[in-house]
Chains A and B, each alone.
Chain A
């Protein structure tokens, strides 16, 4: 049961990664790597959050870090820069529900300005959801980028081929 859960989530994330990637026109050879990265990353985050009950920001950071490390290897295989592979793979992990609740709370806060108690509750929701959204997105970006800084020479010669 646990295994199928992880598998379906990974599969859905792979579809989402490929679809969101398609908006930015990646080279065709990159698609399967994007799918694998997106599935692995999401599966890691899903497991950390559901079975080890980590919080979303930390779990996202670890998942992004694994995507970054894997893309060091995949980039060399497909001769694509790392960012081409990992940016689409990170997109399925964007905390959409938190972002939505932030906007909804903002709307409700403005609608209830004159009833202080209600407005206060909405303000609280607004603040906590905004904090979760911003820190998760930031950690996603940083986590996947760390491998570039650790292995700069490898990361910068992904598109170089041997014996042209």
Chain B
């Protein structure tokens, strides 16, 4: 029974680790590789099946037939490149130094507990990013200013709604609507209104699932890859719907 208890502890930890990675936007092959590496450092074999919403994982003892299987749900975490980098790094550290499970668990807890960048700083950076995007597309300075404000408004709405746990699709449609509506203020001035409205919603493009989906499919994880792509397409359609309302209202001045 002792052996099984140990396998169970390992399985619980790896399940937590792998679902955290999957949920925070890491492509599938990396999740599988990292988890197997941790298993190897603890002297067990790990086999994983990944789906979009859940994950099946078996931990086997390499020397006898003991095995422990766990099916876990993948939480919907905000995308975090920091988890991607630090948790991958943790798996290598475990591999190179043969860390015992409790040390591993403590380090994992510390990485998860690290404070995130302040939402206000992110808001400002996103505003600046979209404004410079507008300039790249050839917008004049009036348009750049209005896009900056429109992005602040749109991203603020997104942050507030996401904090309250509202459905993603509603969040994306509403923030696209708010941002493009604010950007439509450019129609009042003599400026590059078309470019301003076009760029005001670009901060909503789900770039991470789009690229991860392509990587997953090319690497043979077709199921998770296509579910990621499908999710990204749905979000893009939501952005298009939010954007098309102001377009319908102001189409005569835009033609």
Please report A residues at the B interface, Cβ cutoff 8 Å: 9, 12-13, 15-28, 30, 42, 79-81, 83-84, 87-88, 90-92, 94, 96-97, 99-101, 103-104, 106-108, 111, 137-138, 140-142, 144-145, 148-149, 156-161, 164
Contact = CB atoms under 8 A, between A and B. Distances in A.
Given A90-B211, A108-B251, A96 B199 contact: yes
Contacts of B136: 9, 12-13, 16, 42, 92
A100 B214 CA distance: 23
A23 B203 contact: yes
B165 interface: no
B218 interface: yes
B205 A104 contact: no
Contacts of A80: 81, 85
Contact of A16 (B27, B132, B240): B132
B153 interface: no
Interface stretch (B3-11, B41-49, B123-131): B123-131
Contact of A137 (B78, B116, B210, B244): B210
B92 interface: yes
B113 interface: no
Name the prevailing secondary structure of the A interface residues. Answer: helix
Contacts, number: 163
A27 B81 contact: yes
Contact of A22 (B30, B121, B248, B251): B121
Contacts of A100: 194, 197-198, 243
A19 B128 contact: yes
Interface size class of B (residues with CB under 8 A): 35 or more
Given A16-B129, A145-B215, A160-B96, 20 more contacts: A19-B128, A19-B129, A19-B203, A21-B81, A23-B79, A30-B81, A94-B207, A97-B198, A100-B243, A104-B254, A106-B244, A107-B247, A108-B251, A108-B255, A142-B218, A145-B211, A156-B30, A157-B92, A160-B92, A161-B93
A90 B128 contact: no
Contacts of A101: 198
B132 A161 contact: no
Nearest to B159: A23
A104 B251 CA distance: 9
